[in-house]
Structure 1
Amino acid sequence: MSPDSQDRNSPRLLDQVRELIRIRHYSIRTEQAYVQWIKRFILFHDKRHPLEMGADEVTAFLSHLAVKRNVAASTQNQALNAILFLYRDVLRCTLPWLEGVQRAKKPQRLPVVLTRDEVRALLAQMQGTTWLMAALVYGGGLRLLECLRIRVKDIDFQYRQLVIRDAKGQKDRITLLPQNLFEPLGNHLVRVRALHENDLREGYGCVYLPFALAQKYPTAERDWGWQYAFPSTRRSMDPRSGVERRHHAPEDSLQRAVRQAVQRAGIIKPASVHTLRHSFATHLLESGYDIRTVQELLGHADVKTTMIYTHVLNRGGRGVVSPFETIA
């Protein structure tokens, strides 16, 4: 099929990409990334239509990213995923010529892990809402976005747990809510509720709901339980619906606060928000918890992913001790 054979009244290519992504309920971050990679792919080949191109053009683009742009393997794979989505799902082309395109392999690296004393020192350099978010990330082994997207209804003080909805792989899971965070988190939610009630008085207060929940539960978007536990300090325009609402706090607010705390604490490790999640897993294993339990709390699909923390401990499953320690 050539571009000329397509209906001239059909939506523009990138609009078709956006429409299909939304039909499949992909996140707006995925939508933005895929659209940008498809744009770059087309511009790289002088604005030729994708139907006029094939394996040679795809390979040339991916090679350019790796050789000239020196991108990471994960970045190159994201570009390939966007192109695969374009051809297979949007243009509905059979792609025997893409099966042979080799994906870059992500290097296996050990995660950075902080000691308990380093975590304590880092948190001592933080305060307010960012301290609370960082404490939850470490206390429950959360990913950054999982923390930011927590809804009030998914905080269970009675059972001391957080329900993480629609996490990586579109899976839900339950993780820990530390008891010593009950009071600061409760006080925080009192302030957030006051902010929400003020939004309602001003004619706003409708939070984003995923998929078709807004139609299924017409009043849920205004309900307290559906609000983000960590809302943004200001309202903004939803890029998809055009509705002004209060989204969750921006990612860079917590990232910046942790980065500054690491510097003030004098920690020389290249620690980030995600380092707190790595530290959560490692410290649980140090305490003797079963690796399957840790896997479940982290939300890993495969226990092999969780096993990397045993390598950080340098003892595997056998508690290996250096022979030097036996002769000293």
Structure 2
Amino acid sequence: MAKEHVKRKMSGKEQVFWGKYAEKLAKYGVSGRNAEWHVRRAQEFVYGLDGLKLNAVSSAYLDSYLDVLGRTPGFKVWQLRQVIYALRILFLEMTELDWPAAYDWEGRLSACEDLEPTHPTLAREDPPAKPAPEPQPSNGLDSKAMEQVERIKQVVRVRGMSIRTEQAYVEWAKRFARFCGGCFPADGARVPEYLEYLALVRLVAPSTQAQALNALVFLYGQVLEIELGDFGSYRRPVRKRRLPVVLSRDETGAVLGALQGRTALMASLLYGAGLRLMECVRLRVKDIDFGNGYIMVVDGKGGKDRRVPLPAKLVADLKEHLVLMKRQHEADLKAGFGSVYLPEPVARKYPNAEREWMWQYVFPATRISEDPRTKMKRRHHINENGLQKAIKTAAAKAGIAKRVTCHTLRHSFATHLLQSGSDIRTVQELLGHADVSTTMIYTHVLNRPGLSSGSPLDLL
């Protein structure tokens, strides 16, 4: 559907049309060479309509056009984003159609981003490196320290710990080694000195100090097999208890109402099912059970599975969304793509599963990208950064003077359930908390007890 740009002699009417389009670009702050490329992208679309009038183009046609570009080899992220920007201005400013105002332009833009090589979804595909015969110093670490850092990855994976933990432990080990001149001291005597440096010089938060300490205790105890012993006068920092930011029901409705399309659907799942951000973006088709009315969260935080309610209000929108995604997947298969990342044990046990519809992501990226590690052409899940930005923008648009994040919707889910009379053990299970004391934090943001009596000032 996408065609190469061909210079052509324009009629007077065409020149007037593209002149007005250029003026609209200036209105959106697009100028110079960038404006020339926007005009070119819009012209490629219009002159590729093959007789179809611009005012007769449907949203389904635009979806199909963008999907084809997303499967085009060599078509980069910035190029696809440029096309979407150009066509958004074209349809909003140069047509009399109604659907462009409600089209999910932001969702399309956010879904363009590739997952970086260190993204938690992909990082586990990178096996721990085998030490070279003659390892070379890297990043300020000597060769022995680099071998020990790689050993951290091996031990973490054998123990089945999360990729986030692996990344954090590796990074703290490297920082500590640089602090010690590129190596790990044999007796760990400099660990307290480093922790004090973090607190007094780097001014890191108590939670960050605690994470660094845990990483170094793991390094010495599990990797180097050295007993650290007593730290003397050093004491673990006291973590400050922070109450979660919670939205009222009206505020929640205002935030969700300021979103549209895919981002609205994802944000509604965060609130309606109490999902964490990564649990939402990693949902696969098989995880949604419409018949029984629940969503299966697989391998959530701590490697735990759980079931959460499927909001009845989202069933129709989810089904409609999946119809479109299935159509996209079938087109991917015909084009020679259609595979998705699977955990190694699943991929090994079910060799053909990566192309099956049930294993595809519910919220896939807009474009086919090259896996940074395996070099396979795949359609990964949407990059979570787009949803984070969209929710922050929606909160500002709704005039909410709170720090609203994706996790705020999960906090609000728990609080509103407790407000409506749900048992705290039930809420604990839905949130996937190991200890009910973690869930108890939400009782402190309810308007009871203690706050129900009001302020004495109001009694004067």
Same structural fold, with TM-score higher than 0.5 when normalized by the shorter chain: yes
* 1:147 maps onto 2:284 in alignment: no
Q: Contact conserved, 2:272 with 2:310, CA < 8 A, in 1?
A: yes
- The alpha carbon displacement at 1:325 in A equals 10
Deviation at 1:201, TM superposition (A): 2.9
The superposition leaves residues 122-159 of structure 1 with CA deviations (integer Å, 9 ceiling, x where unpaired) of 11111111111100000011111111111110101111
| Post-superposition CA distance 1:253-291 (Å, at most 9, x none) | 111000000000000111111111111111111111111
Q: Which residue of 2 aligns with 1:3?
A: none
Partner of 2:186: 52
Match status 1:14 vs 2:149: yes
1:321 aligns with 2:453: yes
Correspondent of 1:284 among 394, 404, 417 = 417
Among 215, 228, 232, which residue is 1:95 paired with? 228
Matched, 1:305 2:432: no
Distance 1:188 1:312, change over 3 A: same
Q: Which residue of 2 aligns with 1:4?
A: none
- Name the stretch that deviates more: 88-97 or 134-143: 88-97
- Give the aligned partner of residue 213 of structure 1: 346
Q: Is the 8 A contact 2:337 2:378 kept in 1?
A: yes
Aligned to 2:29: none
Classify the secondary structure of the residue corresponding to 1:174. Answer: strand
Q: 1:74 to 1:200 in 2, by over 3 A?
A: farther
Structure 2 partner of 1:234: 367
Give the aligned residue type for 1:267: I
Indicate the RMSD between aligned Cα atoms, in angstroms: 2.7
Where do 1:26-105 residues align within 5 Å? 26-47=161-182, 49-55=183-189, 57-97=190-230, 102-105=235-238
Tell me, in whole angstroms, the C-alpha distance in 2 between the residues paired with 1:169 and 1:257. 27
Q: For 1:129, give the aligned amino acid.
A: R
Deviation at 1:97?
4.2
- TM-superposition CA deviations, 1:21-57 (whole Å, max 9, x none): 334444443333222221111111111x2143513x1
Task: State whether structure 2 residue 407 is matched by structure 1 residue 274.
Answer: yes
1:151-198 residue CA offsets vs partner (Å, 9 max, x unmatched): 110101111111111111211111111111011111111222223223
Q: How many residues align?
A: 319
CA distance in 2, matches of 1:105, 1:157: 45
The secondary structure found in structure 2 opposite 1:52 is coil
Secondary structure, counterpart of 2:338 in structure 1: coil
SS at match of 2:445: helix
Q: Which residue of 2 aligns with 1:183?
A: 316
2:384 aligns with 251
Distance 1:112 1:323 in 2: 22
Q: Which letter does structure 2 place at the counterpart of 1:321? A: S
8 Å Cα contact 2:283/2:297 also seen in 1 = yes
Q: What is the one-letter code of the residue matched to 1:50? A: F
Distance 2:375 2:220 in 1: 29
Inter-CA distance 290–39: structure 2 relative to 1 (3 Å threshold)? same
The letter of the residue matching 1:58 is: V
Question: Could you tell me how far 1:306 is from its partner in structure 2?
Answer: 1.3
Q: Secondary structure at the match of 1:212?
A: helix
Give the 3-state SS of the residue equivalent to 1:313 in structure 2: coil
Q: Is the 8 A contact 1:54 1:97 kept in 2?
A: no
Q: Tell me which residue corresponds to 1:223.
A: 356
Give the TM-score of the pair, scaled to structure 2.
Answer: 0.64
Counterparts of 2:414 and 2:332, CA distance in 1: 38
2:303 counterpart SS class? coil
Aligned-pair distance for 1:207? 1.9
Instruction: Indicate how the Cα distance of structure 1 residues 13 and 323 shifts in structure 2: closer, same or farther if over 3 A, else same.
Output: closer
Once the 2 structures are TM-superposed, how far is the Cα of residue 313 of structure 1 from its aligned partner? 0.8
In our comparison, the structure showing a higher alpha carbon Rg is 2
**Contact 1:136 1:147 (C-alpha < 8 Å) held by counterparts:** yes
Equivalent residue of 2:302, what SS?
coil
**Which deviates more from structure 2 when the two are superposed, residues 18-27 or residues 295-304?**
18-27
Deviation at 1:322, TM superposition (A): 3.9
TM-score relative to the length of structure 1: 0.87
Match of 1:192 among 319, 322, 325: 325
